[in-house]
Amino acid sequence: MNLPIRYYKDYPGGYDYGYETIPLPLAECAFLLVDVDGTAPNPTSENFIAPALAAARQAGMLVTYVHNDLYLVADPGNIVAEVWGRTKGMQGLQWWAEQPEFKPQYLECVAPQPGERNFPKWIWSGFHDTFLDQHLRSHNIKTLLVVGYSQRACLHYTCAEAVGRNYRVILLRDCSNAPEMPDTLIEGAPDLGWINRITLRNFEHLIGYTTTAREFIQACQMVQP
């Protein structure tokens, strides 16, 4: 698969985006969906992630999911519960603790299909204390095409830990977002606000490359499954 990528050149004479097309052995690529669960209408999931997911499946790419399951750590004194209790306005993880079990729900267009693994995680990274890494290595995966939520939280930490495990990471930048806060919005800006701008710049400088759903779909359509 020949995939166009974008990155950021952080050196004198650079300080601008770089663009290349790189060859990727399809058998060494996996399409990773991070926290795309939820049944509320979602234009990013429906209009960008779903078509990219369909293209990955059609091309025969390994598809893998991770999702939050804080029931795993819904204990008094857990540091995640302490932090979220303050920053999310939650009373610890009481809701999770009261669940007899947790099963993520999905919009039909992005739901896992039979045989596609879906790993629960208890913190922001999909690699921390999960079997995601073993699953990917069992399939000889070297490159991750990543979509999901959000660029400043779970997707960011998952991608950063992937690089630490020597995976090449390519983010489909229109298949995610970095939720802005009331004081970070930039009226009329194409990237909506400074959180989105900074998280993408940081990703393309330090973590990996980005592409778009359209470029990914076109690259998939050029290969035989």
Instruction: Write the pLDDT tens digit of every residue in 161-215.
Output: 999 999 999 999 999 988 888 898 888 777 778 888 899 999 999 999 999 999 9
- Based on the fold, state whether residues 95 and 165 are members of the same structural domain: no
Q: Do 55 and 221 form a contact (C-beta atoms < 8 A)?
A: yes
pLDDT on residue 91: 62
How do the residues of the chain divide into helix, strand and coil, expressed in percent and rounded to 5?
Answer: 35, 25, 40
Give the orientation angle of helix 50-59 with respect to helix 213-221, to 10 degrees: 20
Task: Name the residue range of residue 167's domain.
Answer: 2-69+104-221
Tell me the pLDDT band of 97, cut-offs 50, 70 and 90: confident
- Based on the fold, state whether residues 164 and 187 are members of the same structural domain: yes
Collect all residues with Cβ–Cβ distance below 8 Å to 66 and sequence separation of at least 6.
32, 33, 34, 35, 118, 119, 120, 121, 126, 130, 132, 158
Backbone angle region of 165, left / alpha / beta, with phi > 0 → left and psi within -120 to 50 → alpha = alpha
150 upstream amide cis, omega within 30 of 0: yes
- Based on the fold, state whether residues 76 and 93 are members of the same structural domain: yes
Tokens of 23: 């060859």
- Residue 103: pLDDT above 80? yes
The CATH number linked to 111 is: 3.40.50.850
Collect all residues with Cβ–Cβ distance below 8 Å to 68 and sequence separation of at least 6.
35, 37, 104, 120, 121, 122, 154
Instruction: Write the pLDDT tens digit of every residue in 51-83.
Output: 999 999 999 999 999 999 988 887 878 888 788
- Residue 225: pLDDT above 80? no
- Based on the fold, state whether residues 77 and 183 are members of the same structural domain: no
- Based on the fold, state whether residues 114 and 206 are members of the same structural domain: yes
Average pLDDT across the chain, whole number: 92
pLDDT on residue 70: 83
The percent of residues above 70 in pLDDT, for the chain, comes to 97
Q: Do 145 and 216 form a contact (C-beta atoms < 8 A)?
A: yes
The percent of residues above 90 in pLDDT, for the chain, comes to 72
Give the global pTM.
Answer: 0.94
H or E, element range at 62: strand 62-68
